[in-house]
Amino acid sequence: MKSALLFLELLIAHYAVAQPGNYFVKYFGDASQTTACNAVRQLAGGSIYAAGSANSEVVGGRDLFLTKFSSAGDSLWTYYYGTADEDYCVRMVYNGKFFVLCGQVNDVSAFSVDGLMVAVDTLGGQVWLHRYGSSTLTESLSGLSASVDGGVIASGYQSDSTSAGNNFWLIKTDSMGTLQWQKNFGDAGMNEVSDAALQLGSGDILLSGDKQLNSGKYNAWMVKTDSAGNYVWDLLMDNHNNGGCKNIFVDSLDNVMVVGEAATDSSANFDIQVCKADLNGNLAWLKYVRASNESDAGFDITAASNGGYMLTGYYYDTASGRKLIQMMLLDSSGAELNRKLFGNSGTNIGYQIIASVNGGYIICGTDFENHVGVLIYDNVDVDNGIAFAEHVNSLSVYPNPAENVSTLYLNQLLERATISLYDVQGMLMQSGEINHSNKIALTQHLKGIYVLCVTYEAKSHYFRLVIQ
């Protein structure tokens, strides 16, 4: 027992040193309003801003919203924006003065869809709002970048005026949202939809998204333009299976990372697809992060401290049968090193991941069964052990942190397994057997850090458990 308590003390001390901050998972928004969160930003002072849309009926039917959180994840305020019609948010950028949210507005009575952008200051006040598009065409915006001249670059799709299908649509505005120019890219009769836009320091612009091919399948596609929107080159991330793109990222070595999803030869359902290219349009590699034989996808990617990348999206956890938000660490070659999974229901998607000013990473997403937004602050490295889910054949426990839950789950079926829960002083708080469905029933415990010991086949596995 003495050696076990010594190990427990060392384990607690390790976590106390290793964690840069108080990690959290927050669920927010009104479920009755079908809240969906799509974008997140953090300012230098630590404040976090999350954006999305909800059926608030404050302005019209469905409105855009911006919620401010403290650095500890406490919700401070929420404001709504939009038109009298149905408005949807997809992305958000911060230009140093105000936030810009983009998406689309659906005019149900006129059967029209237009692009939409709204600018909001850090106090939640609306600066400007504009609709973009033609009364005779369908438009939507889902890619967004602050422009080097203080304006906005946005991309999405516009219906083809001469044939069926859509084209990549690129627009440029000034700092007040006034349209300066617009461009289209694509093939007549095909369907091209841009999900991401990024302006480089040189002024050149990268667009990425999905392109329909003559065979009827889709592949990820990237287009580069100059600062005026003139075509420079395009790159098809050729895959004989269906595939697509959700976002792009350029790292410090000028590698262009394209993340999305694709079917594989072994699975008709999607796996995570990651591509690396250079700024001249040369594809270095296309790789899959193989997960389950169910549907998995990457929605955003950013740089990690190990020289690799951190990714989010959704990951089908076969142990629980749930689609969960992943925080996944990749090396520089696109191989998975570690991951954590988050979610309180069967269907959860992480839309954006950013590095936190406090260390670690912030993810925003949506719980589609509970109809609320999700805000996550956590980190993944090679050695920290996976609190929510681990590699195949490794034991894991989730959700962790455990917030307002009475049940924990294990990712493996264990026979005659027992659990012991200790507080930070090493005092035994709870013990018992794990039931046949691999659930761990928690008795009432105060908020704090605990150590959970799962014992089976004469082996003990220790997990840091946070109850909040």
- Please write the tens of the pLDDT for every residue from 454-463: 777 666 677 7
Evaluate whether 165 touches 185 at the Cβ level (below 8 Å): no
- Cα separations (Å) of 31 from 56, 348, 354? 10, 14, 25
Average pLDDT of the chain, as a whole number: 87
- The pLDDT value recorded for residue 407 is 64
- The pLDDT value recorded for residue 409 is 63
**pLDDT band, very low/low/confident/very high, at 413 (cuts 50, 70, 90):** low
28 phi/psi in degrees, rounded to 5: -145, 165
pLDDT of 402 over the 80 cut: no
Sheet holding 418-422, edge to edge: 428-433, 418-422, 448-456, 459-467
357 phi/psi in degrees, rounded to 5: -70, -15
Q: Is 316 exposed, middle or buried (0-12, 13-18, 19+ CB in 10 A)?
A: buried
CB atoms closer than 10 angstroms to residue 428: 10
pLDDT of 385 over the 60 cut: no
Give residue limits of the domains in the chain: 1-23+401-468, 24-392
Buried b (16+ CB within 10 A) or exposed e, 66-96: bbbbebebebeebbbbbbebbbbbbbbbeee
Length of the chain equals 468
Enter the CATH code of domain 24-392: 2.130.10.10
- Please write the tens of the pLDDT for every residue from 1-10: 444 444 444 4
- Please write the tens of the pLDDT for every residue from 19-52: 445 899 999 999 999 999 999 999 999 999 999 9
Enter the CATH code of domain 1-23+401-468: 2.60.40.10
Lowest mean pLDDT among 13-27, 64-78, 274-288: 13-27
- The pLDDT value recorded for residue 239 is 86
Q: In the predicted model, what is the mean pLDDT of residues 50-71?
A: 96
Lowest mean pLDDT among 11-20, 103-112, 349-358, 367-376: 11-20
Closest CA to 104 of 166, 20, 23, 147: 166
